[in-house]
């Protein structure tokens, strides 16, 4: 890993907001998820949650391609499971919805741990999401349309969250765990070795301050063998 790439990855990781996330409900098109994840990466969101309509369409392996390599995508098939996971992290769960109880999205305190549920463009959020969320939010509009493209709505809300968090100093110091930083540094700085580790079932090694792999001789030997060979040695 070059010093320039190491510096770029570390700068990105220093701004990550692990307690700000988005949950897309009823996803059935990968390009919609990709557009949302692209915005999340720009904002500093580290995780995106997706409730899929079918197993055939979900993103496999936790992350999708392209810009999504830097975001962890968590897949679900039940809205209740996704919301339970978010609330278990102590997040306030917001849902975009036009209702009598909805408040202007700018009135929310996004410096709190926050998850934003985005429903389908055609049908909106499900009844289950509306029942389980802590608060409905709306993006005020004065035209003839009553909703925005899901990725546009995501951008509008997240940039308000970013504005509040910047004012509160939440982007001023690293907030990711060291374990997660190490994982991203290895996968982003040494993708060929990371793929080999995943294929062979090897643990990730540590990454030093220069971005180099720190591993013992046994690890390097296993990296050069096929999985059956080194498992036989361990036995």
Q: Per-residue b/e over 26-39, b at no fewer than 16 CB within 10 Å?
A: bbeeeebbbbbbbb
Query: What value does the mean pLDDT take over residues 188-217?
Result: 93
Cα–Cα distance, 192 to 72 (Å, whole number): 19
Which structural domains are found in the chain, ordered by start? 17-167 (3.40.1280.10), 178-234 (no CATH)
Cα–Cα distance, 88 to 128 (Å, whole number): 17
Which residues carry a binding-site annotation for S-adenosyl-L-methionine? 96, 139, 148
Which residues carry a binding-site annotation? 96, 139, 148
Q: Is the pLDDT of residue 109 over 70?
A: yes
pLDDT in tens, 75-92: 998 999 999 999 999 999
- Sequence-distant (≥ 6) Cβ neighbours of residue 45 within 8 angstroms: 16, 17, 20, 21, 22, 71, 158
pLDDT in tens, 122-166: 667 788 888 999 999 988 887 877 777 788 889 999 999 999 999
- Sequence-distant (≥ 6) Cβ neighbours of residue 17 within 8 angstroms: 43, 44, 45, 46, 165, 170, 171, 175
- DSSP one-letter code for 160: H
pLDDT band at 224 (very low <50, low <70, confident <90, very high): confident
Query: What value does the mean pLDDT take over residues 36-50?
Result: 93
Q: What's the pLDDT at 63?
A: 40
Long-range contacts, 163-169 (Cβ 8 Å, 24+): 164/109, 164/110, 164/111, 165/17, 165/20, 165/110, 165/111, 168/111
Residue 46 corresponds to which tokens in the numbers above? Answer: 């580290």
pLDDT in tens, 163-179: 999 999 999 999 999 99
Reported pTM: 0.85
Q: Is the pLDDT of residue 186 over 70?
A: yes
């Amino acid at each position: 890993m070059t010093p320039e790439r190491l510096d770029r990855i570390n700068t990105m990781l220093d701004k990550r907001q692990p307690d700000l996330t988005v949950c897309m409900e009823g996803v059935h098109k990968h390009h919609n998820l990709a557009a949302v994840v692209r915005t999340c990466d720009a904002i500093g969101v580290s995780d995106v949650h997706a409730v899929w309509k079918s197993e055939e369409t979900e993103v496999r392996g936790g992350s999708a391609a392209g810009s999504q390599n830097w975001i962890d995508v968590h897949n679900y098939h039940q809205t209740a499971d996704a919301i339970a996971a978010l609330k278990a992290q102590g997040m306030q769960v917001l849902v975009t919805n036009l209702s009598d109880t909805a408040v202007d999205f700018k009135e929310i305190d996004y410096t709190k741990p926050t998850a934003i549920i985005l429903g389908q463009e055609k049908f909106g959020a499900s009844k289950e999401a509306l029942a389980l969320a802590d608060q409905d939010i709306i993006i005020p509009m004065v035209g003839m349309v009553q909703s925005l493209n899901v990725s546009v709505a995501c951008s509008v809300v997240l940039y308000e969250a970013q504005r509040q968090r910047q004012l509160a100093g939440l982007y001023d110091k690293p907030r990711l765990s060291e374990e997660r930083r190490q994982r991203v540094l290895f996968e982003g700085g040494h993708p060929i070795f990371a793929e080999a580790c995943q294929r062979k079932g090897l643990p990730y090694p540590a990454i030093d301050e220069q971005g180099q792999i720190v591993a013992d001789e046994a690890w390097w030997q296993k990296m050069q063998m096929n999985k059956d060979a080194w498992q036989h040695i361990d036995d």
